[in-house]
Amino acid sequence: MSGLVDLQRDGALAFVTLAQPAKFNAMSRAMWRQLRELFLALHAQPGLRVIVLQGQGGHFCAGGDIAEYTDFRFEPEGLRAFHEGDVWGGLSAVLDCDVPVIAAIEGHCMGAGLEIASCCDLRLAATSARFGAPIAKLGFPMAPREAALVARAVGELTAREMLLAARVLDAPTLLARGFLNEVCTDHELAATCLALAQRMAQLAPEAARMNKRMLRQLQQQGPVALPQLVEGAYDYADSAEHREGVAAFMAKRPAVFL
C-alpha cells in the first residue's frame, strides 16, 4: 500500500491529511483517487463548513510518487491517463468542492503538492515551507491543465521561474508573490489554521458556497460568464440565512447561521 489520504470530521470542520510520510507525502495514484473520492463526498456532507487540507509529519507534499513512474510514464496513453484521469481527477474534485478549503503548508510543497495547494481557497504556511515544481530535472513538462492552474495561482513569472529554472522558493517569497495569505512559525501553524477554520465556520454557509461557485465560473470562463451568472444570482433573497444576517446586524447582535 503506497500512502493514503486520511479524513477526520470534527463537527463543522473536516481535516484531510495527505499521508505517505516516508516519502514526504508524495502522491501515489491510489492517493490521487482517494483525494477525489474524499472531496466528492465532502462536497455533499450536510453541516460541513470548512475543510483543512494538510500533510502528515511536517511536510505538505513533496510531489508525485516517482517510484511508480516507470510503470506507466513512457507510453503516451498511460501517461495521459495518469495526468488527465488520476491527477486531474483529484485536483478538479478539490476545485469543484463548494465548501471552503484551507491549505496548511509546512515543509515540502512541490510539484503535486503545489498543484493541490493551488486548488485551495486560502493558504497558510509555516516558515519551513518550500515551494517549487522542479520537474525540469526529471525531464518532463507540466501537464497543460496543471500548468494553467499553477500559473494562475502563483502568477506567470513565478510559474516560469519554477518550471524553466527549477527554482525552489521559501514562504516569505511566496507570501510576497501573493500565493499565501499568511506565514507563521511551524509551531503556530496548526493552531492558526484551526482558529481560522473555526471563525469561518461561524459565517453564512450558503453564501460561501454561492461565492465559490461564482468565482469558479469566472476563473473557468472569464467575464463572458457574467450574463449567465446574473441569472439565478438573486434567488437567495428570501432565504433564512439572508434574513438572519441582516436581522442580526439591525439588532446589533452576532448572526447565528444554523
In the region spanning residues 225 to 244, those forming contacts with its own copies, defined by CB under 8 A, are: 226, 229-230, 233-239, 241-244
Binding-site residue total for its own copies (CB under 8 A)? 93
The distance of closest approach from Cβ of residue 254 to its own copies in the complex, given in angstroms and rounded to an integer, is: 8
The distance of closest approach from Cβ of residue 100 to its own copies in the complex, given in angstroms and rounded to an integer, is: 5
Q: Which three cell numbers stand for residue 162?
A: 519554477
252 touching its own copies, by CB under 8 A: no
Query: What's the rounded Cα separation, in Å, for the pair 161 and 45?
Result: 39
Spell out the long-range contacts of 252-258 with Cβ–Cβ below 8 A and sequence spacing 24 or more.
Answer: 254/202, 255/204, 257/202, 257/203, 257/204, 257/205
The distance of closest approach from Cβ of residue 176 to its own copies in the complex, given in angstroms and rounded to an integer, is: 7
Q: Which three cell numbers stand for residue 169?
A: 522558493
131 touching its own copies, by CB under 8 A: no
- The answer to whether residues 177 and 152 touch, using CB atoms and an 8 Å cutoff, is no
The amino acid sitting at 232 is G
Tell me the helix, strand and coil percentages in the chain, rounded to 5.
Answer: 55, 15, 30
Q: Enumerate residues 7-66 that contact its own copies by CB under 8 A.
A: 66
Give me the 66-105 binding string for its own copies, x by CB under 8 A, dash otherwise.
Answer: xx-xx--xxxxxxxx--xx---------------x-----
Q: Which of 222, 252, 253, 258 binds its own copies (CB under 8 A)?
A: 222
Query: What's the rounded Cα separation, in Å, for the pair 139 and 65?
Result: 15
170 touching its own copies, by CB under 8 A: no
125 touching its own copies, by CB under 8 A: no
